[in-house]
Amino acid sequence: MALNLIVDESVTNAHEAFSRFGNILYLQGRMITNSIVRNADALIIRSTTNVNEELLFGSNIKFVGTATIGTDHIDKDYLNKQQITFSDAKGCNADAVAEYFLTALYYIASKNGISLKDKSIGIVGVGNIGSRVKKLAKAIGLNVVLNDPPLQKKTGLEIYRPFEEVLTCDIITIHTPLTREGEDPAYHLFNERVLNYLKEGTILINSARGEVVDNLALLEVLKQKKIFTAFDVFESEPNILTGLLSYLDIATPHIAGYSYEGKVNGTKLIYDAFCKCFSFRAIWEPEYPSVKNNIISIPDLKNEDESDRKRERIYE
């Protein structure tokens, strides 16, 4: 059975994974339109293609896969109504984003002479990424406070603390998906009131979704007090609030999870879901390059003493 596939040209290893299934048209994600997908059987994309009724109306699409963890560019309700199989790649780049968090934290601490010893960290969202961040945070000796209302309701565990408790932490890192409705919407979770509540010198890291933080409110708050910031995501990408950038300690263009490993993992997850949808045998296995020098040594914060601080000048 030969199929017609539309594939975002930025999907890593797409040719190796999908070429045996039929005809493939590779395009930039923003160039995929209704007329192009009309006779296709499957659509494999990343985050730059908005998948909704406008794109798919009148098409033969039976499968949509996004090789990303985020799904706010997908109208899943429409896909369900049309009985179109959908798959995302949640967890594919979790390690890369967790490593981005750690790198950003150490950069800010080193640059500003901040000791991380005995510091507290609030992790907002404890899913694939947040759970990895928790392990890293504990490994370097931080006092961890977890916040995840859906998980708290599901498990009833008291380890998941109220949002207000997170806001008192020395470090806050955001790993929640973007939701606009329901009991616990994440849209503008960090609004003007919340941002004003943060204490001077808080380290705030956002590598989740830009809209979780009110960017205009953040700009006004940063004009008034010092909050150390590392932001990989912004509202209205790619048309972001450029005036905010000069107030941030770290500003990156949504690349925290954009590692080779993460991209290959994403393709593999979508490939497996695609094969299941069309009853193909999944035989493709990606090859990962070997890693050399995979151990990174960092100071032992638990045993840090005054001589270490004077010698290294990393903390304080």
Distance between CA atoms of 127 and 151, rounded to whole angstroms?
A: 9
CA distance 233 to 146: 21
Q: What angle do CA 179, 183, 184 make, to 5 degrees?
A: 50
Give the helix, strand, coil percentages of the chain, each rounded to 5. Answer: 40, 15, 45
The residue count for the chain:
316
CA–CA separation, 300 and 161 (whole Å): 27
Selection from 154, 195, 130 nearest residue 145 by Cα: 130
Give the three-class secondary structure for 46: coil
Give me the DSSP letters along 199-266: PTT-EEEE-S-GGGB-HHHHHHHHHHS--EEEES--TTTTS--GGGGGG-SEE-SS-TT--HHHHHHH
Neighbours of 300 (CB within 10 A): 10
Dist. CA 255–CA 96, nearest whole Å: 9
State yes or no: is 209 an active-site residue. Answer: yes
Active-site choice (209, 211, 235, 304): 209
At position 35, the amino acid (one-letter code) is S
- 38 catalytic per annotation: no
* Residue 181: active-site member: no
CA 105 vs CA 100, 109, 171, 222: distances in Å: 8, 6, 9, 18
Q: Which of 278, 281, 271, 285 is nearest to 89 (CA)?
A: 271
Q: Report the C-alpha dihedral over residues 17, 23, 26, 30, rounded to 10 degrees.
A: -110
Q: Which two tokens stand for residue 253?
A: 């263009």
* Catalytic position from the list 237, 261, 309, 316: 237
Kindly list the catalytic residues. Answer: 209, 237, 254
